[in-house]
């Protein structure tokens, strides 16, 4: 395999982003890894830490920003969301593309 890449799936709500990602992960598990985002918002319903999101406190998230631990991050409605550099680096070490 060539050098792994980071693939960003972006579209309006309901366009099929999750369906596409699930299909890629199911049909080509050796090529793709899903990036689980970090957030400061509280879990909803049956969400599990490390499955849907990594749930962090505001202090933990801000510390991660200061230490440069996120590849990208944003503040939305007073909550932080971001992608851990470590998640991407781990997938690349395993020769997997990140979606």
Number of structural domains the chain divides into:
1
The two beta strands, 79-84 and 38-39, are antiparallel
pLDDT in tens, 80-92: 999 999 999 999 9
Residue 45 in domain = yes
What's the CATH code of the domain at 87?
A: 3.30.63.10
Residue 18 in domain = no
Using CA of residue 61, residue 21, residue 90, residue 46, what is the dihedral sign?
positive
Q: What is the pTM of this model?
A: 0.86
Residue 78 in domain = yes
Per-residue pLDDT at 78: 96
Biggest CA pair distance of the chain:
41
pLDDT in tens, 1-50: 689 999 999 999 899 999 999 999 999 999 999 999 999 999 999 999 99
Structure tokens at 27: 């049909």
- The whole domain housing 86 covers 30-98
């Amino acid at each position: 395999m060539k050098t792994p890449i980071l693939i960003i799936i972006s579209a309006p709500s309901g366009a099929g982003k999750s369906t596409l990602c699930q299909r890629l992960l199911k049909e080509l598990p050796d090529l793709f890894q899903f990036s689980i985002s970090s957030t400061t918002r509280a879990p909803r319903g049956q969400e599990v830490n490390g499955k849907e999101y990594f749930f962090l406190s505001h202090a933990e998230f801000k510390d991660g920003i200061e230490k440069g631990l996120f590849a990208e991050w944003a503040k939305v409605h007073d909550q932080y969301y971001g992608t851990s550099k470590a998640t991407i680096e781990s997938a690349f070490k395993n020769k997997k593309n990140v979606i």
